Amino acid sequence: MRVHVADHPLITHKLTVLRDKNTAAPTFRALTEELMTLLAYEATRSVRVEAVDIETPVTKTTGVAISSPKPLVVPILRAGLGMLEGMVKLIPTAEVGFLGMVRNEETLKPDTYAERLPDDLSNRQCFVLDPMLATGGSLIAAIQYLLDRGATDVTAVCILGAPEGLAALEKAMEGRDVTIVLGALDERLNEHGYIVPGLGDAGDRLYGLV
């Protein structure tokens, strides 16, 4: 598994505003989208392309186009939805699938409550969007789901991560073709499972308390 933590002043600046508890939902949503677009640049570094011949006004030349099957973007409901626009802005020909995951309070394992994905993901590059890598439980389950359906390489994009979640992900995905791109790696998880310093509950800050 590969790990990439963004190290860019613009990302850190936007993250600082996002972390601020006084930042209201409209600004929080706009910043999440902007941050995703910046992280998408890094996350798509290995997107598959093929050669195409074109003619400029001056001469014939060869460029590249994104290969088929097109990449599949999978936001994890609900907070991952806040990252979707920022991703498809940069890669508009991608297809979009959805996965809804919730923690089962009896087993403490993530249960899938919604799923809209192609049955066969053979040879697909997949990009999973989930803003907060906390314990890693739901992200591990989501990536495993895609790999089980045949996805060949999976990149997860998270705005913030905790060392505990990253370690769990690295252990679960050892030797797999999986990449994680993080906006920042924070200090730790607190006793309630929140990332510290973090930004609070990403879903609530994007969409309100429901």
* List of residues contacting ligand URA (CB under 6 A): 79, 132, 134, 193-195, 198, 201-203
Rounded CA gap, 93 and 182, in Å? 23
Rounded CA gap, 172 and 27, in Å? 35
Q: Is 205 annotated as a binding residue?
A: no
Whether 186 is a known active-site residue: answer no
> Dihedrals φ, ψ of 22, to 5°?
-85, -5
Residues 139, 76 contacting (CB under 8 angstroms)? yes
* 86 vs 203, beta carbon nearer ligand URA: 203
Q: How far is the CB of 97 from ligand URA (least distance, A)?
A: 21
Q: How far is the CB of 35 from ligand URA (least distance, A)?
A: 15
Altogether, the residues listed in the chain come to a count of 210
Rounded CA gap, 141 and 128, in Å? 11
Q: Is 175 annotated as a binding residue?
A: no
Q: How far is CA 22 from the centre of its chain?
A: 25
Rounded CA gap, 88 and 48, in Å? 16
* 19 vs 48, beta carbon nearer ligand URA: 19
Whether 107 is a known active-site residue: answer yes
Exposure of 190 in the CB half-sphere (CA atoms within 13 A): 9
Q: Which of 103, 149, 152, 177 is catalytic?
A: 103
Q: How far is the CB of 196 from ligand URA (least distance, A)?
A: 8
Binding-site annotation: residue ranges for uracil: 195, 200-202
List the binding residues for 5-phospho-alpha-D-ribose 1-diphosphate.
Answer: 78, 103, 130-138, 201
- Which residues are the active-site residues? 103, 107, 201, 204
Which residues sit in the known binding site? 78, 103, 130-138, 195, 200-202
